[in-house]
Structure 1
C-alpha cells in the first residue's frame, strides 16, 4: 500500500515537473515573441523617422534643414508619443514653436497611433520646461566714476562675455529734465524700469525723436534703475551697430546658436539707434529675438530717430510689432524745458568744482536762442563756462551773443517726410495722393509721380527701395529711372526747373 502510495506520489511529482517545464517554456516563448515584436516596432518607427527626415529636407530645403533639423535625433515612440532630442534648450524651443505642428502631422501620416511629439534636450532625463533658458547667466552692474558701467550676461561657455555697451553714469532719471515734449516718454520709461519681472503693457517701448532730445539718456536711465531695483535682472544694452557686429562675428565663428540663446535668455533688452541696423539677415534675427522676448514676457525697449513706419529695410510685420506696444515721441524742447536743462547743467558743473556765475538774463538768452537740441544747449553752456573759468572774464549778454553766434544761426529744420512731398506735389499738379501711389500710367499722373520720387531722393535720407515702397511698392529700379529722368529734364526744361524749385521751397518751409 505504501509502495503504491509512493508510486502515485512519484507520478504526481513527475507530472508537476513536466507541467512546470511546459509553463516555463511557454513563458520563454512568449518573452521571445514580445521581444521580437518590440524590435520590429522600433525598426518600423526608425524607418518612419528616416522617411520624415526626407520629407523635411524636401519641404523646407537644405539650408533650413541643416540649421534646425539636422541635430534632431529619434529616441522612441512610447505611449503614443514620438520622443526626439536636440542638443540645446534654444533648439528645443525653436523647433517646438515653429515646426512642432508639422512634425506631429508627419508622424501621424507615418504612424497613425502617434498623438504628440515630445522634443527633449539630450542629457536631461525629463522634458525641459516650456520657458527654458541656457546655463545660469551672470549679472553685474558696476557704478563707478572711473569706469563705465557694464551689464554683463555671460554665455554658458564661461570664456566669453556677452557684454553690454557702457552706460553713462550721468544719464539717470534723477538728471533727466522733464517737460511737455518728453513727459510721456519719461513716464513710460520709468514705468518699464520699475516694473521688474511683472512686465508692463508697454512692450515693446519704442522711443523716437530728433538728435539731442534725450532718447539715449532715457535708455541708460532705464538700465540703471532696473539694475538698482533688481540686481538679478538680466539686462543687455547695445547699439544697433554693436548688434550687427556681434551677430556677424557669431555667424563667422560658428557660434550663432549660443548667440541666439544668450539673447533670448535676457530679461530686459535695450537697443539704441535702431535706424542704423543693416542687412536682411540681421533684420530677420532682430525680429525673431524681439518676438521671442516679448512672447516670453521679457521687456524690449527701442530707440530711433524716426517712428517704426519710417524705418528702412524692415518688413511690415516687424514694423507692426514695433508699433504694437507703445510708440512715444520726444518733440522739440520748449523754452521752459530748455531753461530747465541749462539750470541742471549749471548745477552739475558746480558739483564738479566749476562754479559758473551766469545771470538770469544770459540763461534766458541762451535758452531762447539755442532751440535745436539739448546737445547744442550743453555746448553753448560749456563755451560760456570756459570763458568764465579759464579766461576769468565775466559772462555778459554781449559776450554770450558773440560766443554762441554760430549755434543761434543753426536752427533745426523739421524733418521732411515722403508723405509731405506727396501731398505738396499732388496739390500742385491737382491730382490726388492716391493717384501718385497707384498703378495708373497716364502722363498726367506719371510725371508728378516721377517728380515726387525725385524730390524724395533729394530731400530725404530714404533709400531707393524705401521710396519705392512708399509709392505703391514699386521696385527701386523704377525710382532710379524716375530720378535720372527728372535730372535729365532739369538741364533743358526751365519751366520744370522752376516748378521743382517752387515745390522744394514749399516742402522745406512746411507749407501745404
Structure 2
C-alpha cells in the first residue's frame, strides 16, 4: 500500500519525530539536514518508507550520518515501519507536504490557520514542568502571564541556557492561555522564523499581511530572540511589533539564552522595551532536579521498568541540559523496546556513549584520589600503599568506585593508578561499594558528598 491514504498519519508521525530531532540536534543542524526531508512512498506490506531530499549530496549525507537514528525514531512511532530508504527526490515525484519542512514557507504560499500559527507542542504544559529552586521564579511568572487577570508585568522575558526549560514554559503559557480563552489567538514563533517570514514578505511586497497577522495575536510568544542580532530591518519590525502588542494591552513573552543587556548588536530601544517587564532566569538543572525530571517522566510510563541505578547514572552523567537528559532517556527506552533488552546501566553506557562522552567533565583519577583523601583525612600516599587497615582500605575502595563511575578508564587502568593493583581488586571494590550504598546510609551519604564535590 502506498502513501496516499496514509499521508496524514505519516505526516503527524513525522511532526512528532522532527520535533524531537530538532530539540536533540539543535536548530542549525536540523535546519540544514532534516528539515528538507519529504515523505515519498510507503509500502505497507514491506514496511518500507521512502524519505526524499533535494539532492544526491544531501541524501548521501543524511543516509551516512542519520539513517540509524531516523530508523529507530520511525520504528518507535510507527510500528509498521521496518526500514527507510533515503534518496534524492526525482523530478515529478509525489511527496507528502510536511509541516516541519515547510515551517518557513512564505505566507503567500500557504494559509496559516490558528493551529499553524500557535504551533504549540502538546507535551509542554505546566503539569509536565518539574519545579525546583532554580526555576521557580520563571515558572511562577509564566503562570501569572497565563492567568485570566491582567499581568503585573508585560512583556515577560525568559532567560536560560539551551535546553533548560524556557521553550517548555513558553508553550505551557500558550496552552494555559488558550484553555482559559478558547477564542483567543495565540502565536508562537521562533525568532529565526520571524526573520525568514518577514524577509520573504518584504520581497513579495506582502509586509502588511505579515504585520497584521502578528499584531492580531492576543498572546505572542517569540523564542530565541538572540538570533535577531544584527538584522536591522528585522529589528525595526520587531520593535514595532513589541509596541503594537504591549500598547494594545495584549501579552508578549520572549525568550533568549542571555540577559537583555548581553544581547550585543540589538537596538537599544528593543532592550529598553524588554527590560520594562520582568526578566526571569532559569538556572541550570542541578542533580536533584535532573533526577526528579527523570522520575517524573518514568511515572507517566508505569509499564516501563527502569532501576534507580540507571536513573542515578543518567542524572549524574547527562548534566549539560534537560533536553539532552530527556533525549538520552527517550533513546534508551526506544532501543530497549525495539530490541527487547532490559533497561540497565550497561545498556545506557553502550547506547548513549556519544551523549555521555560529550557531557562528562574530564575528571582525572588523580583528582578523585586527592578529593577522597581530603574527605577521609588520610595521606594521599595511602591510595597506592599496601596497608590493609579498614580506615585506609575503605576510602581506597570508594576512590576506585568513583573512578569507574566518573572516568572512561578501564579496570586495569584504574588498578595501575592505585599502586599497580590487579583489575580484579578494582572490580571487587566497585561491587562492594555499590552493595554498601544500598544498605549503609552513611556510605551512600559519603559517596554522594564526594560526587557533589567533584562535579562542582
Partner of 1:223: 174
Equivalent-residue separation in structure 1 for 2:345 and 2:263 (angstroms): 43
Are residue 180 (structure 1) and residue 133 (structure 2) matched? Answer: yes
Are residue 344 (structure 1) and residue 296 (structure 2) matched? Answer: yes
Equivalent-residue separation in structure 2 for 1:399 and 1:160 (angstroms): 44
Instruction: Answer yes or no: is the 8 Å Cα contact 2:159–2:282 preserved in 1.
Output: yes
SS of the residue aligned with 1:327? strand
Equivalent-residue separation in structure 2 for 1:160 and 1:300 (angstroms): 20
Instruction: Answer yes or no: is the 8 Å Cα contact 2:119–2:187 preserved in 1.
Output: no
- Shift in Å, 1:175: 0.9
Instruction: Answer yes or no: is the 8 Å Cα contact 2:191–2:223 preserved in 1.
Output: yes
- Scaled by the length of structure 2, the TM-score of the pair is 0.52
Unaligned runs of 5+ in 2: 1-76, 79-97, 101-106, 362-456
Q: For 1:201-227, what per-residue CA distance to the aligned partner results, in whole angstroms no more than 9, with x for missing partners?
A: 221101111111111111111111101
Are residue 300 (structure 1) and residue 252 (structure 2) matched? Answer: yes
Q: For 1:410-451, what per-residue CA distance to the aligned partner results, in whole angstroms no more than 9, with x for missing partners?
A: 2389xxxxxxxxxxxxxxxxxxxxxxxxxxxxxxxxxxxxxx
- Shift in Å, 1:406: 3.5
Equivalent-residue separation in structure 1 for 2:328 and 2:236 (angstroms): 42
SS of the residue aligned with 1:301? strand
Partner of 1:365: 313
Q: For 1:108-129, what per-residue CA distance to the aligned partner results, in whole angstroms no more than 9, with x for missing partners?
A: xxxxxxxxxxxxxxxxxxxxxx
Partner of 2:216: 265
- Relative to structure 1, is the Cα distance of residues 148 and 259 closer, same or farther in structure 2, using a 3 angstrom cutoff? closer
Q: For 1:1-55, what per-residue CA distance to the aligned partner results, in whole angstroms no more than 9, with x for missing partners?
A: xxxxxxxxxxxxxxxxxxxxxxxxxxxxxxxxxxxxxxxxxxxxxxxxxxxxxxx
SS of the residue aligned with 2:130? coil
Equivalent-residue separation in structure 2 for 1:386 and 1:254 (angstroms): 47
Question: Using CA pairs below 8 Å that are at least 6 residues apart, which structure has the higher relative contact order?
Answer: 2
Partner of 2:184: 233
- Relative to structure 1, is the Cα distance of residues 412 and 242 closer, same or farther in structure 2, using a 3 angstrom cutoff? farther
Equivalent-residue separation in structure 2 for 1:291 and 1:412 (angstroms): 45
Q: For 1:74-95, what per-residue CA distance to the aligned partner results, in whole angstroms no more than 9, with x for missing partners?
A: xxxxxxxxxxxxxxxxxxxxxx
Equivalent-residue separation in structure 2 for 1:318 and 1:412 (angstroms): 38
Partner of 1:285: 237
Give the alignment of 1:403-442 within 5 angstroms.
403-411=351-359
Indicate which of 235, 238, 246 corresponds to 2:197. 246
- Shift in Å, 1:314: 1.1
Partner of 1:395: 343
Equivalent-residue separation in structure 1 for 2:319 and 2:164 (angstroms): 11
Are residue 377 (structure 1) and residue 325 (structure 2) matched? Answer: yes
SS of the residue aligned with 1:237? strand
- Scaled by the length of structure 1, the TM-score of the pair is 0.46
Equivalent-residue separation in structure 1 for 2:352 and 2:198 (angstroms): 43
Give the alignment of 1:19-98 within 5 angstroms.
none
Equivalent-residue separation in structure 2 for 1:273 and 1:160 (angstroms): 22
Partner of 1:325: 277
- Relative to structure 1, is the Cα distance of residues 233 and 340 closer, same or farther in structure 2, using a 3 angstrom cutoff? same
- Relative to structure 1, is the Cα distance of residues 345 and 148 closer, same or farther in structure 2, using a 3 angstrom cutoff? farther
Instruction: Answer yes or no: is the 8 Å Cα contact 1:148–1:169 preserved in 2.
Output: no
- Relative to structure 1, is the Cα distance of residues 401 and 258 closer, same or farther in structure 2, using a 3 angstrom cutoff? closer
Equivalent-residue separation in structure 1 for 2:245 and 2:306 (angstroms): 49
Instruction: Answer yes or no: is the 8 Å Cα contact 1:148–1:167 preserved in 2.
Output: no
- Shift in Å, 1:254: 2.5
Instruction: Answer yes or no: is the 8 Å Cα contact 2:220–2:252 preserved in 1.
Output: yes
Q: For 1:346-386, what per-residue CA distance to the aligned partner results, in whole angstroms no more than 9, with x for missing partners?
A: 23445xxxx32111122112112211111221222123323
Indicate which of 165, 169, 177 corresponds to 2:122. 169
Partner of 1:316: 268
- Shift in Å, 1:310: 1.6
Equivalent-residue separation in structure 2 for 1:412 and 1:362 (angstroms): 16
- Relative to structure 1, is the Cα distance of residues 400 and 266 closer, same or farther in structure 2, using a 3 angstrom cutoff? closer
Partner of 1:214: 165
Give the alignment of 1:482-497 within 5 angstroms.
none
- Shift in Å, 1:165: 5.0
Equivalent-residue separation in structure 2 for 1:337 and 1:362 (angstroms): 16
- Relative to structure 1, is the Cα distance of residues 165 and 159 closer, same or farther in structure 2, using a 3 angstrom cutoff? closer
Are residue 205 (structure 1) and residue 156 (structure 2) matched? Answer: yes
Instruction: Answer yes or no: is the 8 Å Cα contact 1:333–1:373 preserved in 2.
Output: yes
Q: For 1:135-160, what per-residue CA distance to the aligned partner results, in whole angstroms no more than 9, with x for missing partners?
A: xxxxxxxxxx99999xxxxx9xx976
Unaligned runs of 5+ in 1: 1-144, 150-154, 414-512
Q: For 1:219-271, what per-residue CA distance to the aligned partner results, in whole angstroms no more than 9, with x for missing partners?
A: 11111110111112222111112211222232223332343333333221100
- Relative to structure 1, is the Cα distance of residues 289 and 364 closer, same or farther in structure 2, using a 3 angstrom cutoff? same
